[in-house]
Amino acid sequence: MIDKLDIEVINSLTISELYVLRYIDNNKERVLSSSVKGIAEQAFVSTATVMRVCKKLGFSGFSELKYALKNELQKEIESSGSIGDDYSVNEVNQTLVSEIETTAKNIDKKSIVDIVEIFKSDKTLHFFAKGLTLNVLEYAAKQLRTAKRAVHLYNDTHIAYINAENFTKDDCVFLASLSGRTHQVVKVAQIAKGRGATIITITGRLEDELSKIGDINIKVANERIGTTKHDFSSRLAMMFVMDVLVGAYLRSQMGVKK
């Protein structure tokens, strides 16, 4: 549910309302058999807060929200299937290779050079992402730190928000999201942009909320492996881009000509 919402809607929610939204999104089947009072008790909020969330999501009330959840669950069931049924090993292999080839072919060389120059500069470097994508930035951060390039990697969203408030033109924040709509990542971008920081984004869509905020944007190819409701989208293309960036940075530091 969350990934289908406009970022403006998510930003309009209070902390308590956002918690209710997450509870509903993570407990759809339980919500279908619950009352407003039951949801409020489980989420430790008032019934009024639950009803405000329903209204902000565009529903007339809790019953309409439950109806939408029921339809969403039904679609997930109908579209679900095992990876083994839909994909052979060769097909998965071809998909991943295709992602790398497409990303490499379409990557903007000037953007790579510009990012490497930022890595070489005195700007304070910050990395932030959520979920599986965070692993990609963690991998790159470790490589850069090994090369003596300081990087601030944020695992905690609240800490990322607080630090972003104090960013200046001397900061650069590297943000990654396959959908380009991960609301925590977009919010950090919005805060940092307002403080004058340089924004670098890496996303998997041609047009998305995050890229609109970015000063330098890298696009990667991505395709879901399987048809289940779980997130099986590959981050391999993102990892490839980070390897290119870190590799180019290391070569520049060693004085090796491109």
Q: Which fold has domain 84-254?
A: Rossmann fold (3.40.50)
- How far is CA 107 from its chain centroid? 20
| Spatial contact of 242 and 218, defined as CB atoms under 8 Å apart | no
Q: Enter the pTM of the model.
A: 0.67
Helix (H) or strand (E) holding 177: strand 171-177
More confident site: 167 or 58:
167
Mind listing the pLDDT tens digit for each residue in 107-120? 999 999 999 999 99
Is 3 a residue whose pLDDT tops 70?
A: no
Task: Give the model's confidence band at 254: pLDDT under 50 very low, under 70 low, under 90 confident, else very high.
Answer: confident
- How far is CA 205 from its chain centroid? 12
Is 227 a residue whose pLDDT tops 50?
A: no
* The pLDDT of residue 223: 63
| Mean pLDDT of the 60-66 span | 92
| Mean pLDDT of the 215-225 span | 81
Q: Given its phi and psi angles, is residue 180 left (phi above 0), alpha (psi -120 to 50 degrees) or beta?
A: left
| Spatial contact of 40 and 47, defined as CB atoms under 8 Å apart | yes
H-assigned helices in 80-200: 83-86, 89-106, 109-120, 132-146, 157-165, 183-194
How far is CA 198 from each of CA 144, 168, 188, 195, rounded to the nearest angstrom? 19, 9, 12, 9
How far apart are alpha carbons 21 and 1 in whole angstroms?
A: 9
CATH of domain 2-79: 1.10.10.10
Nearest to 139 by CA among 237, 228, 243: 243
* The pLDDT of residue 117: 97
| Spatial contact of 241 and 100, defined as CB atoms under 8 Å apart | no
Residue 57 has what DSSP assignment? T
How far apart are alpha carbons 121 and 167 in whole angstroms?
A: 16
How far is CA 35 from each of CA 31, 39, 51, 61, 63, rounded to the nearest angstrom? 8, 6, 11, 12, 9
* The pLDDT of residue 225: 45
Helix (H) or strand (E) holding 169: none
* The pLDDT of residue 11: 80
* Residue extents of the structural domains in the chain: 2-79, 84-254
Is 28 a residue whose pLDDT tops 50?
A: yes
How far apart are alpha carbons 128 and 189 in whole angstroms?
A: 10
| Mean pLDDT of the 149-154 span | 97
